[in-house]
Amino acid sequence: MSNPFSQAPSTPIAGGLDQAERVSAFLTKVYGWMFAGLAITAMVALYVASSPTLIQTVVANRWMFYGIIFAELGLVWYVSARIATLAPGTAAALFAIYSALNGVTLSIILLVYTGSSIGMAFLTTSAMFGALAVYGTVAKRSLAGVGQFAFMGLVGIIVASLVGFFWHSDTLQFVISVCGVIVFTGLTMWDAQRLRNMALQVDGDQVGSYAIGGALSLYLDFINMFLFMLRFMGRSRN
């Protein structure tokens, strides 16, 4: 799900620096950390998928698999809740750990889907995400309504996914996938605009921490959009 922290501090920054430069510098940090997180996830996923021993450990030990998932959720919650007080180095370390743990759980998709379909889903997601992020960054009108609608849709997807866990239906899974892409389309635009506005508010030592928090938010948008796209485009190895 998308990063829970939804706003920057309300105190504006002191004047003197050009706003465009402030936004550019902040977003460069945000996207740099986001790409770093994706790279860590990809490398860990490839490493785990290439090791039969590690795959057997992750897949066969269900308690370990679910434990990793709960650890990921805990890290997202902790970073999001403490982003205003976390030191940049601590925030960076926690983000790297989360990205690595996510690589462990996502390694399974490398065994389920063909490499070509994963690559196609990744390229499609990258193109969509890039266009949506640019739009959200440059849009003049507020996208807060889009964000609220998308967040409500996210809650609906979570509930529907829980239902789908107990009631297996191809139709339900298809609807969830369609709604998932739509929801994270909205969240990506909203988060991009929110981070642009955040760049004009944060200042001082916490700029680095907020940049990592923003990277986590966009990372989650990208990963979730990719997974829903993979449901459409992915071809099973079997």
CB 95 within 8 A of CB 79: yes
Residue 8 covered by a domain: no
Range of the domain at 186: 19-233
Say whether pLDDT at 12 is over 90.
Answer: no
CA distances (Å), origin 136, targets 28, 75, 171, 232 = 15, 26, 32, 25
Which residues have CB under 8 Å from 164's CB, separation 6+? 172, 173, 176
- Counting the structural domains of the chain, the total is 1
238, 235, 228: which is closest to 118 by C-alpha? 235
Least confident among 8-22, 165-179, 188-202: 8-22
Give the model's confidence band at 188: pLDDT under 50 very low, under 70 low, under 90 confident, else very high: very high
**Among 27, 19, 102, 38, which Cα is nearest to 65's?**
102
Domain annotation covers residue 5: no
- Whole-structure pTM value: 0.87
Question: Domain for residue 166, yes or no?
Answer: yes
Average of per-residue pLDDT values in the chain = 86
Q: Is residue 12 part of a domain?
A: no
Supply the pLDDT for residue 170: 76
Q: Tell me whether residue 193 is in a domain.
A: yes
pLDDT for 147: 85
Q: Is the pLDDT of residue 48 over 70?
A: yes
How many angstroms separate the Cα of 38 from the Cα of each of 69, 98, 150, 215, 223? 17, 11, 23, 10, 8
Asked whether residue 14 is assigned to any structural domain, the reply reads no
Q: Would you say residue 123 lies in a domain?
A: yes
Mean pLDDT of 159-180: 79
Q: Does residue 6 fall inside a structural domain?
A: no
